[in-house]
Amino acid sequence: MEKYVTANVATNLYWLGRYLERVAMTLREIAETYDKVIDVDKDAGVKLYRKYDIELSYTNAYDFLNEAIFGDHSANLLTILTNARENAIICRHLLDSEAFGEIIALHALFKDTDNNHLEVDYKCMDHAQSLIGEIWNARSHREHQELSDSFFRIGKIVEEADHRIRHNEDDPVIQSIIQEIDTITERLVHDHKPEQKPMECKADLLNELNSKIDKIIIDRD
């Protein structure tokens, strides 16, 4: 296992994992909601985005896709992917080259669609989902799990935990994710001892997640 990764690069790997997982989860939700918007509940998209404090408006199912992905709001997927691409470029020397290539391709897919004013459709969504699958897959194909993988992985699961906490703090999966975070933390921080603090609200859980990351990545600046 490699021993050295700067705090800066570790942070980039961590956020790369978070952004990719955010895109993957958002795409899954959009795909499910798109299906409802067609003929079950035209306002399903409005309801979904209210959870993110975003007022989304659209005229039909295709318009929902475009507004959800490229709309002028904080969950714009192209913006999130641009951030992911930046993180990937900075830490590319530690990424599997195929995974890196797929991240660039994923960003290009959305950027080209946006630049060319093409309507995003289910094929584009499927393609994006499969690229994300390949990115995570390329990581797991590595023979040895390296230090850099841990930061990438922890970003992914923190994002998942964050998402679940915000949407349903009683979700039983949250505790198992936190246990996995603790396992990775023990590997990265030799004298780490998981603390059992009472969690009374969403804010407690989210603060606990952030404090775990602060224990792992120590930026001396």
Does position 101 interact with another protein (CB under 8 A)? The reply is yes
Does position 108 interact with another protein (CB under 8 A)? The reply is yes
Q: What is the 3-state secondary structure (H, E, C) of 156-175?
A: HHHHHHHHHHHHCCCCCHHH
Number of residues counted as binding another protein (CB under 8 A): 28
Using CB atoms within 10 A of its CB, is residue 183 exposed (0-12), middle (13-18) or buried (19+)? exposed
Q: How far, in Å, CA of 74 to CA of 99, rounded?
A: 26
Q: How far, in Å, CA of 74 to CA of 171, rounded?
A: 25
Least distance to another protein, CB of residue 99, Å: 11
Stretch that binds another protein, among 7-15, 31-39, 64-72, 122-130 (CB under 8 A): 7-15
Least distance to another protein, CB of residue 105, Å: 6
Neighbours of 140 (CB within 10 A): 11
Q: Which of 46, 105, 125, 213 binds another protein (CB under 8 A)?
A: 105
Task: Give me the residues that bind another protein (CB under 8 A), please.
Answer: 3-10, 86, 89-90, 92-94, 97, 100-101, 104-105, 108, 151, 188-189, 216-218, 220-221
